[in-house]
Structures are given as C-alpha cells and as structure tokens.
Amino acid sequence: MKTPLRRSPIANVRAGLYAVLVGMTLTFTACSKKSSPNPGNSDTTGGDKGAQTGNTCNATPADVASLAIFPSDNPWRQDLTNAPIDPYSTQILGKYLNTGLHADFGGGLYEGKIIGIPFTVVCGSQQKVPITFRGNAYDGNYGSESDRGPYPIPLNAPIEPGDGHVIAVDKDNHMLYELYNANVNGSHWEASSGAIFNLNSNTLRTDDWTSADAAGLPIFAGLVRYDEMLTGSINHAIRFTLSKSHTVAAHISPARHEGNGTGTDTTAIPFGARLRLRTDFNVSSYPPHVQVILTAMKKYGLILADIGSDMYISGAPDSRWNNDELQKLGQVKASDFEVVKFH
C-alpha cells in the first residue's frame, strides 16, 4: 500500500459524512503532488513502437458531444434531485458559505497556457503506443495500480498544464484512456499512472487503486465540455476539487482511492462525496450556456475527485468559451448548495 500525498489508499469512511463543494476560475491551480510512491523499476507496456505521431482520423470533440458517459444506472448519471440531505450539510458548507464557484476552464490562454483539461478524440483504428510508468521529480511511479497498455493516444495529444493529464476517447469503441504526469519520450508515452475505462460498463477500478485522477475516478466523465453544453444538457456529475483541510483521508463509492485530506471532523468530506445545487435556485438570470451548467448541478451535482483549490469545477478548454460568462458562476455560492447524504 502506498501512502502518497496526492493519493493514498484508505480504510474506513465515516458513514454520515458526505458532501462537497464546487469551484470555478480562469486561473489554473495544479493539485498537490503525491509522495512515498511505489518503488521499483519503470514498467513499459507493449505496443507498436512505430506508431504514428498524430491522430489517424479526423475525429473532433463534437463527435463525442452526445456520447453516453457510462450506462444510465451509473453513479455518474444518478439523478440527485430527491436524494436526502446529509445531516452535517450546514456544518460542511459553513466553512466556505460565501465562496463562489470557479471555472477551471475557459477559452484562450492564461499566462501562455490553455485553461482546463484537454482531451483528444480518436477512432477505433488509432494505432496504440506503449506506456512507461515511472516516477520523476513531480511525482512517483504508480504503475502497480495502473492499467497496462498500449494506449491509443497520439503522440501529439495535448497535455494539461500542471498535473500533466492526457486523455483520449475512442469514439468507435467507447473506451476512455487517461494518463497522469505524462510526457512523450521518443515513440512512447511516460506517465506516473494510467487508467482505462469502458464507457459502456459500470465496472469500477480495484478498490484502493488510483487512476489518472486522485480519487481513482475517470476525469473525462466529469468535465464540462463545450460541444456537450451546446446539445442543451449535461447528463452527468461535474468534477470538482477542495483543499486538503476541507477533505478527509477517505473515499466513498464510486471513488476508489483516498486523498491526503487533513480534515478530522464532520465538516470534512471524502473523495466521491456529492453536493447539488438547490432545486429552488433561480438560474434564469444567467447566460444560456451557464444555465445548462447550473441545471446539471441541480440534477447530477458535483463529485469530489481531487485535492486542489476550493470550489473549482473542471472542464475542457475551448476557444468558443466566453470567459466573461463563465465568471458569472462566481455569483453562485456554496450556500446555494446542499450536501447529499451518503447511502
């Protein structure tokens, strides 16, 4: 068992302790790094070392705008409208009642870097390349908790600034491939950890295993994506982060891995905790695109997936985002949410 700072396996989750908060801003704040990684040599998965550098088809993000994020009975698609409120909801939110949402995604660049977590869409014919799981100065080697490749990730796929996430969605086979702390080395990818998800399945990762995300969850499943927003509805929960002091070192399903939270009382929540926007919150004064995001928060809520800045929600960068509109999300406060009870 590893006990990293950013991710660590866990034992007991306090029943009755459950909730989370949301976040949004146009600055990027990387999550805290892990520590005490698994020792051992780098692990190189199999694959065609002559793989092509780029995407082998003309797939675009619009091709997965309506792609189902797991089956309809998956936790990511659970309707939380009538879910019971956690008995500690008021106390949990009390520490940051006046904190507004922050969009950790947007259009253009901030300090020369894209804003958000990018992803690449590939076809079923995309050539697969090997993955070497290794540690580096940023974080350790979590190859023992990673899915072996090869992965159909083009060697020129965009890398998220900060945590180095790399994501590829196979639109034909409905498969998701994600890496953490990744870089290209010659004809293959190197990463601290990686995970593969079948978007047609409810199968969870091995309990206590990390993924490309600290909570052992898929990242793509919780991103706010522009093309999906254009369909008029976001049909899944939205990923968000909280600071260590507002989380507890534990996880609840569907999360599979705990973080390095330092909270010790009933105001701290575990990875996998959910909160929802109150049903009586009036969204009509917000721009139409923002209304779609807020409506999803009422139905599917937010899910705590990593340690980071308080109230940050995650999305994919896109030049079409209107950053001024996204900043209006800051008017939505933690006090406008309810913590959903764990059951």
* More confident position, 263 or 291: 291
The verdict on residue 260 lying in a domain is: yes
Identify any residues that bridge with 133 across adjacent strands, giving them in sequence order: 43, 191
Residue 135, pLDDT score: 98
Question: Has residue 21 been placed in a domain?
Answer: no
Is 33 among the domain residues? no
For residue 158, CA distances in Å to 56, 113, 164, 218, 267 come to 15, 11, 9, 17, 37
Q: Give the pLDDT confidence score for residue 61 in this predicted structure.
A: 97
Q: Does residue 330 belong to any structural domain of this protein?
A: yes
Residue 199 resides in a domain: yes
Report yes or no on 24 lying in a domain.
no
Could you please report the per-residue DSSP string of 42-106? -EEPP--TT--SS-SS---GGGGTT--SS-TTSGGG---TTPPBPTTHHHHHHTTTTPBPEEE--
pLDDT tens per residue across span 80-102: 999 999 999 999 999 889 999 99
Q: Do the domain assignments include residue 95?
A: yes
Instruction: Judge whether 27 lies within some domain.
Output: no
> What domain count does the chain have?
1
Task: Tell me if the bond preceding 84 is cis, omega within 30° of 0.
Answer: no
Give Cα 228 to chain centroid, integer Å: 16
Mean pLDDT of the chain: 87
Q: How many CA atoms lie within 13 A of 31 on its CB side?
A: 35
**297: domain range?**
43-339
Contact predicate 258/251, CB 8 Å: yes
pLDDT in the model for residue 266: 86
